[in-house]
Amino acid sequence: MIQLKTMLNCIDNSGAAIVECVKVLKMKRHAKVGERIVVVVQKQRNLGAELSGTNAASQKVRRGDICHAVVVRTKKKYARPDGSFVRFDDNACVLINKSGDPLGTRLNGVVGEELRKRKWSKILSLAPMHV
């Protein structure tokens, strides 16, 4: 479960590495897999932007930017309707814009299957594997 001040890994190539949750949307206290949150970028990826100007243009977010995100993995285990329990190694999210499209073009790592139920098909299509 993701709540205020939780640090998450950003698994897309939007330029953010670590983000911090500042708001859980829909008047809830905790966010689960597939729910929207508002985050602040705490650490950005260093993609060698100093060496070439092309990588500097590909970074969409910088440190301190406020963005919307979708939770794709949580460390807290949760039960699925079939009776199985799922738990991941870390908390992770994908940055999105206001209309719900991902900011990045690639995802690094697996995402939860609950995204299918919550209609995040664009994120599922970018992900290499669903668990």
Please determine, for residue 17, whether its predicted confidence score (pLDDT) is greater than 80: yes
Q: How do residues 61-91 score in pLDDT, each as one tens digit?
A: 999 999 999 999 999 999 999 999 999 999 9
* Whether the predicted model's global pTM rises above the 0.85 cut: yes
According to CATH, the topology of domain 7-126 is Ribosomal Protein L14 (2.40.150)
3-state secondary structure of 117: helix
Which parts of 62-118 are beta strand (E)? 66-73, 78-79, 85-86, 92-96
Q: Which of 56, 34, 55 is nearest to 100 (CA)?
A: 34
Measured CA to CA, the distance from residue 73 to residue 14 in angstroms comes to 18
Q: Where are the domains of the chain?
A: 7-126
Q: How do residues 20-73 score in pLDDT, each as one tens digit?
A: 999 999 988 999 999 999 999 999 998 665 555 555 556 789 999 999 999 999
Q: Which of 74, 59, 83 is nearest to 7 (CA)?
A: 74
